[in-house]
Amino acid sequence: MSGVQFRVLGRVAVTAGGDDVRIPGRRERAVLATLLAARRTVVSVDRLIEDVWGDGASASAAGSLQVAVSRLRSLIEPGRAPRQEPKVLVSSGAGYALLAPPDDVDAERFALLVDEAHAALDSGEPERTLRLCQEAGELWSGAPFADVIDSDLVTAERSRLEDLRLTSLELGAEALLALGRHALATGELEGLVAAHPFRERLWGLHALALYRSGRQADALDVLRRARRVLADELGVDPSPALRELEAGLLAQDGSLEGPSGRASAPARRDGAPARRQDAVIGRRSALTALDSALEDVFAGVSGRVVLVSGEPGIGKTRVVTQLARTAEERGARVLWGRCHEADVSPAYWPWVPVVRELAGTRPGDAVRALLSPAEPSMSSDASSAALRTYDAVTRLVAHAARESPVVVVLEDVHWADAASLQLLAYAAEALADAPVLLVATSRLVADPPESLRACFAALARQSATRVALAGLVAAEVQALVGQLTGVSTDEELASVLTERTDGNPFFVIELVRLLAAEERLHAAGARAIEVPDGVGDVLRLRLARLDDDVRQLLCIAAVAGRTFDLDLLVQASGRPVEDVLDLLDAAVASHTVEENASAGSYRFVHALVRETLYGSLSVARRGLLHARLAELLEPRLAADPDLVAEVAHHFVLGAALRPALVEPAVRHSMRAARVAEARGALDQALVHWEEALDAESREQSAPRRRYDVLLGLGRARHRRGDVAGSRTALTEAVELGRSLGDPALMAEAATSFRGAGVWHWREFGTSDPTMVAVLEECLAALPLGPLRARVQVSLAMELNYEWRCLEAGAVGAGAVDAVRPLDDHELFADVIVMRTLQLWGKPGAAGVRIELAEEALTRPLSLEQELYVRFGSAAARVQLGDTSSAVAQMNRCVELTRRLRHSGADVPIAWWLFYRAVDAGDVAAAEVLLQDALRRHRQSSTVAISDMEPMARLRLAGPGAEVSDACVEQARVHANPAFRAFVAHALAESGRADEGVDLLGGPVPDGAWDYASVVGDCLRVDALATAGRRDQLEPALLRIIDWGEEFAIYGSTDCIGSLHYFIGRGLEALGDADAARTRYALARDRNRAAGITPWQERAERRLAALVR
């Protein structure tokens, strides 16, 4: 170890010589944490600014980052001379890396100890395993990175370390069992199971420990509890391992009595090589890492995930091909998927060949939907469709892995569609205990899309192995050139080639081929050739040497994609098949393309070749070629429906030059969007709907066609949380329906707008008379039936926004009555969610909301609908002060949101979690959760972030916090009385009571309510009481005095506790101290029972003051 040590297990800290070194500021600490979380890899400047300064970073953030880095360097290397290059916190390209030796970072030492404990247990050394786990436990000082704001890197590393912590505890328990210390293991496992109820291995170990302690009945009861927890909370059955253990306990299997509950690793297959032949030059460390992952899978230790990354041409495919060869030699089943390289990638493209090979001739429904897009509508609940797809695919892989280990290789995931990346992340978790090795390759992307970043973060949480490929050194380049040319190469040439190419293998190969073709494959020739822009220039020079006819044919192929076939080129080029074959033979001979296994199928040898050729074409030439290929591929759809996304994309690009192609461009784009929706690929569906509108806008001659596009686009935008974009598309669709004279079309569009998830989609008091008129027009024209019921409940919501709540209540109740007898569970759930939203915040209505939710939950709902129903139920239970059952409902919502991924509920749930931490008085947790909520909210188009942020910061600061002038001005013009009352109350508590009262304005109209109106009324009473405004206080108090048994909650966020407290404030200010004292005592007790700590403490203070 060196003199400077880094700690992240607990608080982030630096020590030198055993003494803590003070880190000067919050941002320096955050920068240090992010670099430590990256584990000796480079973090770009842009990424650091985003993670540390957030979305609101100013133009000076880059300079501030340099200052922070400079300060950290002075702490880490205090003896470094002024101009001496730093050795630990180094600059690299456009970023920084912290190159601390692993021994100097507690997290790295911790991970190493856990790995050694794993190996010791596998080697039959339980005593040593226990000692190593104890050493690891001594390093653990609490939650990793406990005092820094989350970023993607920190979150992923924290998850990795927490998972390792649980692994170490499991290993320790296994070691105790192996040593015969069953009673000791039982005691430790009891607490672990309670703390981590979804960790199935802990349940199994607990049951085994009890069984070996002579407590068979208790052991079986533990497994029954495990089954119940998994079913109730996750909706899943126990794993095969847990079910097998239960069967063994029931049968009193003698093998369970052994000194070790750990199954032995399967023996190596006969004839399998003990070690790979190093056939790939310069990649020994990468191959060793891949070998290690493969060995774990064969040994039955766990499933593994490996991500191989590097720049284009670095050799990613060569490395994973060598892995696949070794895996097959050992008896594994290897499945390949390659991502689509066009601008638009079909949904699940890399997974389709994997699934097709595994599914055979009798796939299940979800798999059939993935493989047979000719039937694109399984369910309108696209998020659930995605989950079904994920679950079906992972089950298919897991089933295959029962026969032999499975290796799934997904190449070029930087091109993958969002759904494929989400499936990869899901599979990494779902297959963690199966003998499956998931391998993905990816380019280094400077600004990765959010879907790719989210996938990599999820893989990191599953402790994926990162294999980053760098350039070859000169000796390796020398060997590569020798392998390529068949003759020995001098060191000087190898050195020049290394310098010119940065050791990129594909660059080296292309440059060597160019030099050989020009007969100057020597050091002087390599120095003289002009290659200013890297491998692209070399490729252009090489391609320029091809015959013109070959190059023209390859340009057509480049527009077709990375893989293409002979028949398509024959048709597209208009040449005889013999001529095309001759040209392709020449291309193969030039190492530009290669033949695939199937006859007549070809592939560019590298994506860079295809990209270079495609980039050489003018935009107009590309458009014409896309049009030609679209027309040629369209007839193939009958036999190969998976081509629909590709055909649509070709038509869209071709329609820019040939208006006659607009109709098929729109038609196929809509078809591709619906296929993607049926598969749950919502991001991809939105891309296709946007392309359909882009094409349709070129020729607006078919109103009904445009209506269909806008309707699909509006719904797709809504599913992705784009509230404003959804409203724009659907409003135009409504007008098109009116122009076509069809009330049903108007109603479909008008009722498709639901807002983003579980919150209201705009503020109350903001009238939309146009939408109200549209809905009333539809209601008058439509016959009784499902569509009319949807219009009713949508109209109820619009009337509510206009404060016409009593009218809205009658209309909404009528909608529920209309759909209750119908056998349409999806419609019933939709109407219930809207109806409960309409009742949200109404005093006395919480019980009705809960009853409606319970009625809906008796029906077969999709997971997305269950989420929405339970979310509303949770908020209603808080209104009744039943926070324990509210938390249980919301825990299920959290799990559903995680499983459904983009559900529209992640922002409201993030705010819920923040305010529950505030309720508990956990300021540290609340600060972290606030950053998460703000990040999620900013990334969505969910309403009210301008209100939520100042409210959250005031609530977190506590009573008496300073209220900014900007916040006051915002409240002064705000339409919602509750927000004005919130700021007025904060002013009153900070000593500015009169100013607060002046800000209040009027309450919501009599007989009306909204999601926060009771909160507004309560805070109004408190502010008026503080200011001593008795004349205004009496009518304000009358609005809440009958509802003392309820709690006030700002929608689903800020709970200000029992109304008894605010009734007490009014009574006290009006001079009735005895009645006030009674109310305060009730508020204290009810808030304490509900865990609303800040308002419990307020009640206690008021009560104590009255007693004195």
pLDDT digits 0-9 by tens, 115-161: 888 888 888 888 889 889 888 888 888 889 887 877 778 888 888 88
Residues 800-836 pLDDT 10s: 888 888 888 898 899 999 999 988 888 898 888 888 8
Give dist(CA 546, CA 595) in Å, integer. 18
What is residue 955's predicted lDDT score, i.e. its pLDDT?
Answer: 92
What is residue 365's predicted lDDT score, i.e. its pLDDT?
Answer: 59
In this structure, the answer to whether residues 951 and 899 fall within a common structural domain is no
**DSSP letters for 969-1007:** HHHHT-S-HHHHHHHHHHHHHTT-HHHHHHHH---SPTT
In this structure, the answer to whether residues 828 and 799 fall within a common structural domain is yes
Higher pLDDT pick, 367 / 462: 462
Count helices and strands (H / E) in the chain.
51, 16
**DSSP letters for 1019-1061:** HHHHHHHHHT-HHHHHHHHHTTGGGTTSEEESTTS-EEEEHHH
What is residue 359's predicted lDDT score, i.e. its pLDDT?
Answer: 77
What is residue 372's predicted lDDT score, i.e. its pLDDT?
Answer: 59
The angle that helices 703-719 and 662-678 make with each other, rounded to 10 degrees, is 30
Q: Residue 494: which residues within 8 A CB-CB, separation 6 or more?
A: 474, 475, 477, 478, 481
Q: Which band of pLDDT confidence, cut at 50, 70 and 90, is reported for residue 912?
A: very high
Residue 30 structural domain: 4-104
In this structure, the answer to whether residues 440 and 528 fall within a common structural domain is no
Q: Measuring CA to CA, which residue among 821, 812, 884 is closest to residue 848?
A: 812
What is residue 185's predicted lDDT score, i.e. its pLDDT?
Answer: 81
Task: Find the distance separating the first CA and the last CA of the chain, reported in whole Å.
Answer: 62
In this structure, the answer to whether residues 246 and 295 fall within a common structural domain is no
* Residue 95 backbone dihedrals phi, psi, to 5 degrees: -165, -165
Higher pLDDT pick, 798 / 768: 798
Residues 1069-1101 pLDDT 10s: 999 999 999 999 999 999 999 999 999 999 999
Domain of 299: which CATH number?
3.40.50.300
- Residue 911 in any domain: the answer is no
Give dist(CA 312, CA 412) in Å, integer. 10
Picking from 542, 558, 582, the residue at the C-terminal end of a domain is: 542
Q: What is the mean pLDDT of the chain?
A: 84
Determine what percent of the chain is predicted with pLDDT higher than 90.
30
The pLDDT of residue 205 is above 60: yes
The pLDDT of residue 234 is above 50: yes
In this structure, the answer to whether residues 1004 and 1086 fall within a common structural domain is yes
Give dist(CA 745, CA 711) in Å, integer. 9
The answer to whether residues 801 and 764 touch, using CB atoms and an 8 Å cutoff, is yes
Give dist(CA 239, CA 430) in Å, integer. 10
* CA distances (Å), origin 307, targets 62, 293, 401, 1082: 30, 11, 20, 58
The answer to whether residues 126 and 260 touch, using CB atoms and an 8 Å cutoff, is yes
The answer to whether residues 803 and 1006 touch, using CB atoms and an 8 Å cutoff, is no
Q: Which band of pLDDT confidence, cut at 50, 70 and 90, is reported for residue 762?
A: low
44 in the Ramachandran plot: left (φ > 0), alpha (ψ -120 to 50) or beta?
A: beta
What is residue 755's predicted lDDT score, i.e. its pLDDT?
Answer: 44
Tokens encoding 580: 């095309």
What is residue 262's predicted lDDT score, i.e. its pLDDT?
Answer: 34
What is residue 493's predicted lDDT score, i.e. its pLDDT?
Answer: 84
Q: Which band of pLDDT confidence, cut at 50, 70 and 90, is reported for residue 943?
A: low
Give dist(CA 435, CA 839) in Å, integer. 51
Picking from 444, 468, 492, the residue at the C-terminal end of a domain is: 468
Residues 83-127 pLDDT 10s: 778 888 888 767 888 888 888 899 999 988 998 888 888 888 888
Using CA atoms of 923, 926, 928, 932 in order, give the dihedral in degrees to the nearest 10.
-170
Alpha-helix runs per DSSP H in 859-992: 863-879, 883-900, 906-919, 923-939, 945-957, 965-972, 977-989
Give dist(CA 1043, CA 881) in Å, integer. 12
In this structure, the answer to whether residues 504 and 449 fall within a common structural domain is no
Tokens 């882009």 correspond to 694
In this structure, the answer to whether residues 1087 and 953 fall within a common structural domain is yes
Q: Residue 1082: which residues within 8 A CB-CB, separation 6 or more?
A: 1044, 1058, 1060
- Residue 623 in any domain: the answer is no
**What number is the average pLDDT over the span 63-75?**
84
* Residue 640 backbone dihedrals phi, psi, to 5 degrees: -135, 80
Q: Measuring CA to CA, which residue among 266, 288, 591, 595 is closest to residue 435?
A: 266
Give the CA radius of gyration of the chain: 33
- Number of structural domains in the chain: 6
Residues 13-59 pLDDT 10s: 888 877 788 887 788 888 899 899 888 888 888 888 888 887 666 76
Residues 687-729 pLDDT 10s: 899 999 999 988 877 899 999 999 999 988 877 767 778 888 9
In this structure, the answer to whether residues 947 and 978 fall within a common structural domain is yes
What is residue 530's predicted lDDT score, i.e. its pLDDT?
Answer: 62
Q: Measuring CA to CA, which residue among 911, 906, 878, 882 is closest to residue 893?
A: 906
In this structure, the answer to whether residues 891 and 995 fall within a common structural domain is no
Domain of 1043: which CATH number?
1.25.40
Domain of 85: which CATH number?
1.10.10.10
DSSP β-bridge partners for residue 604: 593
In this structure, the answer to whether residues 381 and 315 fall within a common structural domain is yes
- Residue 79 in any domain: the answer is yes
Q: Which band of pLDDT confidence, cut at 50, 70 and 90, is reported for residue 941?
A: low
- Residue 995 in any domain: the answer is yes
The answer to whether residues 151 and 175 touch, using CB atoms and an 8 Å cutoff, is no
The pLDDT of residue 213 is above 70: yes
- Collapsing DSSP to helix, strand or coil, 942 comes out as coil
What is residue 918's predicted lDDT score, i.e. its pLDDT?
Answer: 93
The pLDDT of residue 263 is above 80: no
What is residue 95's predicted lDDT score, i.e. its pLDDT?
Answer: 84
The answer to whether residues 1024 and 1033 touch, using CB atoms and an 8 Å cutoff, is yes
Residue 561 per-residue DSSP state:
-
**What number is the average pLDDT over the span 1044-1065?**
94
- Residue 216 in any domain: the answer is yes
Picking from 903, 929, 955, the residue at the C-terminal end of a domain is: 903
Most trustworthy range by pLDDT among 239-243, 267-271, 706-710? 706-710
In this structure, the answer to whether residues 318 and 438 fall within a common structural domain is yes
**DSSP letters for 436-497:** EEEEEEEE--SS--HHHHHHHHHHHHTTPEEEE--PPPHHHHHHHHHHHHSS---HHHHHHH
- Residue 361 in any domain: the answer is yes
Give dist(CA 401, CA 434) in Å, integer. 7
In this structure, the answer to whether residues 487 and 459 fall within a common structural domain is no
**DSSP letters for 767-810:** --HHHHHHHHHHHHHSPSSHHHHHHHHHHHHHHHHTT-HHHHHH
The answer to whether residues 225 and 213 touch, using CB atoms and an 8 Å cutoff, is no
- Residue 714 in any domain: the answer is no
What is residue 278's predicted lDDT score, i.e. its pLDDT?
Answer: 38
Q: Which band of pLDDT confidence, cut at 50, 70 and 90, is reported for residue 285?
A: confident
- Residue 428 in any domain: the answer is yes
